[in-house]
Amino acid sequence: MYLTKEEERIYEGEEGWTKKKALEILVAIGDIHNAARLVPITCAHISGASYKTIGDAFEFINSLKGRVKVKSTLNPIGMDRERWGALRIPETFARKQQAVLTAYERLGVSPVCTCVPYLVGNRPRTGEHLAWAESSAVLYANAVLGARTNMEGAPSALAAALLGKTPSYGLHHPETRRPEIRVCVNCKLADADYSALGFLIGDLVGSKIPLIELLPTASPNEDELKHLSAAIGATGSIGMYHIKGITPEAEALESPREKIELEKKDITRFFEKQGQH
């Protein structure tokens, strides 16, 4: 992967251990995905915030120096920060969890602790490059906001935040954002129907980016699109979808030949199946 002279200095350790380690992570990921270079990002969203999942690996975060270069938010942690005692969270866990949060805060990461950063001030514009972890947020950023991010892991999102850059591959490129399958939804949807639709789509499309065609009268609101993204992220392995009339780039794209049709009965059957569990 091509590095600028400044990036080469960082890689050689001339700007400190923290930046060197961050760049080593990004170069390794870039090499795996044949990225040609790094691209500047406008913001990051970082997972790996819960002590339940990160454990004592947070000591690595604690060892980092400096501050993030871009607006950076954090995923939910493993407890309620104010009512952990009332919720019978063990004090040992609470102390460790607070240490994780403090480590991120020291680096300049905002402790909003949310999986919907676009609702709390971290809302990118169309065309901006990001480094976001958290599957539902990634899907929303790509599909609804028209930003560009791959589905990052906690280490890569943090490394990108520290350097303000991320490897340019995958969903950062227009050609890899093209839809590969049409999903024609032949019924009216409202509220929780969008969650059901998302679960069905994620399960049906696999790793193919879908172009979702709703009825001409459909106008999903922000909450419904949030639920759709979360559900696709729960059952699918894709980082974006397109909806005609919503995804900024969708109108300029050709419709794929492969097609799936969904009817009201499919939505109803999904809810009935959930009721059996």
Each residue's pLDDT tens digit in the chain (277 positions)? Answer: 999 999 999 999 999 999 999 999 999 999 999 999 999 999 999 999 999 988 888 889 999 999 999 999 999 999 999 999 999 999 999 999 999 999 999 999 999 999 999 999 999 999 999 999 999 999 999 999 999 999 999 999 999 999 999 999 999 999 999 999 999 999 999 999 999 999 999 999 989 999 999 999 999 999 999 999 999 999 999 999 999 899 999 988 889 999 999 999 999 999 998 875 4
Q: Taking the CA atoms of the chain, what radius of gyration do you get in angstroms?
A: 20
Do 56 and 28 lie in a common domain? yes
User: Among the three residues 174, 189, 207, which one is the final residue of a domain in this structure?
Assistant: 174
pLDDT value of residue 4: 97
Q: What is the CATH number of the domain that holds 27?
A: 3.30.499.10
DSSP secondary-structure letter at 267? H
**Measured distance CA(38)–CA(15) in Å, rounded:** 18
Do 191 and 267 lie in a common domain? yes
Do 225 and 149 lie in a common domain? no
- Residue environment code for 179-201, b if the CB has 16+ CB neighbours within 10 A, otherwise e: bebbbebebebeeebbbbbbbbb
Give which of 34, 39, 23 is closest to 1, Cα–Cα: 34
pLDDT value of residue 276: 57
The domain tally of the chain equals 2
User: Among the three residues 132, 159, 174, which one is the final residue of a domain in this structure?
Assistant: 174
Do 169 and 184 lie in a common domain? no
Q: Identify the domain containing residue 267 by its residue range.
A: 178-275
pLDDT value of residue 203: 94
Do 95 and 63 lie in a common domain? yes
Q: Which residues share a beta bridge with 243?
A: 212
Do 103 and 222 lie in a common domain? no
Do 104 and 154 lie in a common domain? yes
Structure tokens at 254: 């050709």
Query: What angle is formed at CA 65 by the lines to CA 155 and CA 103, rounded to 5 degrees?
Result: 65
Do 123 and 184 lie in a common domain? no
Do 110 and 229 lie in a common domain? no
Do 33 and 136 lie in a common domain? yes
